[in-house]
């Protein structure tokens, strides 16, 4: 097909609109690899972009979608041949460059990761940037010697995308995982099925510099007062993988956990991760996330036309786990 469907973000003087359009292949930006996209997904950042809640998008018009999985249609890169399955996450795609919420994408070959054997295109997007980020967080904790024997690991924003995959991964790897969520009433069953050993509410602010040592490790997707609370409650030499800011971008903490208990904050950046890290992370995801876990984290599969409405849901914290977008639906 020389035309294809795409969600297009356009800016006028008053607002940003997201409309389903029919585009021509010639409209696509330059790149070595033309991809027939099968699935994309909705991450928190896609929600920000599509609802224009934060200035995530740097150029208009733009096809949003920070993730895609599909089949190579044409390639001038020796690394990829027509028919190859590929995954793309990050690199500013869906922010500065046209992204995955379309039936076709033309991209730079350096941005791609070969689809690992044993992972379907749909399940690659059940994971997407959220799953990749969760895996990076687990790799960072492992690199800082946080093992299943170290003690409990807490995951915040537990019922969200990054949180859900982090719980599933850590539990499967033998860690004792505590899920912190604002949805104790509605998400406990789900979080326990993912492998949490128990579920607790959200963290609360405190004026104290140090509190009882509770957590050997933490995966934080919330930031703000939540991350500050974690620093106060980490055990000596404990590590927090700092992933997100769903609850705020500030960090109202003190230096005492770091200088008196040797606590580590491990920054997680999925967008600019190098190729080798991506390959390792996607291989580990493929080995660790069973089909049952992938099905459990996939809250729904939607079509392109539903993306604007579901983007509002994700901004209101109403999405549990992951949303996959079937761009051909
Ligand atoms: P989701 O929207 O799927 O999940 C976010 C979760 O955070 C919600 O489900 C909710 O969990 C919790 N939450 C939301 N608002 C608040 C609040 N005000 N206070 C406390 N908790 C809150 O988003 P993702 O999982 O996709 O992303 C999570 C964060 O990680 C985002 O900030 C995102 O930008 C960031 N991120 C960073 C990446 C990186 O490279 N560093 C890559 C991917 C994401 P619950 O209902 O369980 O409390």
pTM of the model: 0.97
Beta carbons within 8 Å of 274's beta carbon, 6+ residues apart? none
Alpha carbons 63 and 185: distance in angstroms, whole number: 37
What architecture does CATH give domain 3-115+294-326? Alpha-Beta Complex (3.90)
pLDDT tens-place values along the chain, 329 residues long: 589 999 999 998 888 999 999 999 999 999 999 999 999 999 999 999 999 998 899 999 999 999 999 999 999 999 999 999 999 999 999 999 999 999 999 999 999 999 999 999 999 999 999 999 999 999 999 999 999 999 999 999 999 999 999 999 999 999 999 999 999 999 999 999 999 999 999 999 999 999 999 999 999 999 999 999 999 999 999 999 999 999 999 999 999 999 999 999 999 999 999 999 999 999 999 999 999 999 999 999 999 999 999 999 999 988 999 999 999 99
CATH 3.40.50.720-classified regions of the chain? 129-267
Nearest CA to ligand 1 atom 19: 247
Residues forming beta bridges with residue 192, ordered by sequence position: none
Neighbours of 76 (CB within 10 A): 10
CATH 3.90.180.10-classified regions of the chain? 3-115+294-326
Neighbours of 30 (CB within 10 A): 7
Alpha carbons 322 and 283: distance in angstroms, whole number: 20
Query: What are the pLDDT digits (tens) for 186-243?
Result: 999 999 999 999 999 999 999 999 999 999 999 999 999 999 999 999 999 999 999 9
Give CATH superfamily name and number for 129-267.
Answer: NAD(P)-binding Rossmann-like Domain (3.40.50.720)
| pLDDT at res. 120 | 98
Query: Ligand 1 pocket: which of 51, 155, 160 to mutate (most atoms <8 Å of CB)?
Result: 160
Neighbours of 136 (CB within 10 A): 26
Using the mean position of ligand 1's atoms as its centre, give its distance from the Cα of residue 232 in Å.
21
Query: Ligand 1 pocket: which of 135, 181, 246 to mutate (most atoms <8 Å of CB)?
Result: 246
Q: Alpha helices of the chain — where are they, by DSSP H?
A: 44-51, 121-143, 161-172, 184-194, 224-233, 256-261, 275-288, 291-297, 307-315
Query: What are the pLDDT digits (tens) for 40-78?
Result: 999 999 999 999 998 899 999 999 999 999 999 999 999
The structure tokens listed for 17 are 């609109």
Q: Is the shortest distance between the CB of 160 and ligand 1 below 6 Å?
A: yes
Using an 8 Å Cβ cutoff, are 91 and 271 in contact? Answer: yes
Using the mean position of ligand 1's atoms as its centre, give its distance from the Cα of residue 244 in Å.
6
């Amino acid at each position: 097909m020389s035309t294809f469907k795409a969600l297009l973000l356009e800016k006028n003087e008053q607002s940003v609109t997201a409309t389903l359009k029919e585009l021509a292949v010639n409209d696509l930006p330059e790149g070595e690899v033309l991809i027939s996209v099968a699935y994309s997904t909705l991450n928190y950042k896609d929600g920000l972009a599509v609802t224009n809640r934060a200035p995530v998008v740097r150029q208009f018009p733009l096809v949003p979608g920070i993730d895609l999985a599909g089949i190579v249609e044409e390639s001038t890169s020796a690394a990829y041949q027509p028919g190859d399955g590929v995954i793309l996450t990050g690199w500013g795609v869906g922010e500065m460059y046209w992204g995955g919420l379309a039936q076709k994408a033309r991209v730079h070959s350096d941005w791609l990761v070969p689809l690992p054997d044993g992972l379907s295109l749909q399940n690659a997007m059940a994971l997407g940037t959220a799953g990749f980020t969760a895996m990076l967080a687990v790799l960072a904790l492992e690199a800082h010697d946080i093992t299943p024997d170290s003690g409990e690991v807490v995951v915040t924003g537990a019922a969200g995308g990054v949180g859900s995959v982090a719980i599933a991964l850590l539990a499967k790897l033998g860690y004792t995982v505590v899920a912190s969520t604002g949805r104790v009433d509605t998400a406990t069953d789900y979080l326990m099925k993912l492998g949490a050993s128990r579920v607790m509410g959200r963290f609360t602010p405190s004026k104290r510099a140090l509190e009882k040592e509770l957590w050997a490790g933490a995966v934080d997707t919330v930031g703000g007062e939540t991350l500050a609370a974690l620093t106060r409650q980490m055990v000596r030499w404990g590590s927090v993988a700092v992933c997100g800011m769903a609850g705020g971008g500030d960090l109202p903490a003190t230096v005492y956990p770091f200088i008196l208990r040797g606590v580590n904050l491990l920054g997680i950046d999925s967008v600019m991760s190098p190729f080798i890290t991506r390959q390792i992370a996607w291989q580990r995801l493929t080995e660790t996330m069973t089909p049952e876990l992938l099905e459990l984290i996939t809250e729904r599969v939607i079509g392109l036309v539903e993306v604007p409405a579901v983007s509002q849901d994700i901004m209101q914290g109403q999405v549990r786990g992951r949303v996959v977008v079937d761009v051909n639906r």
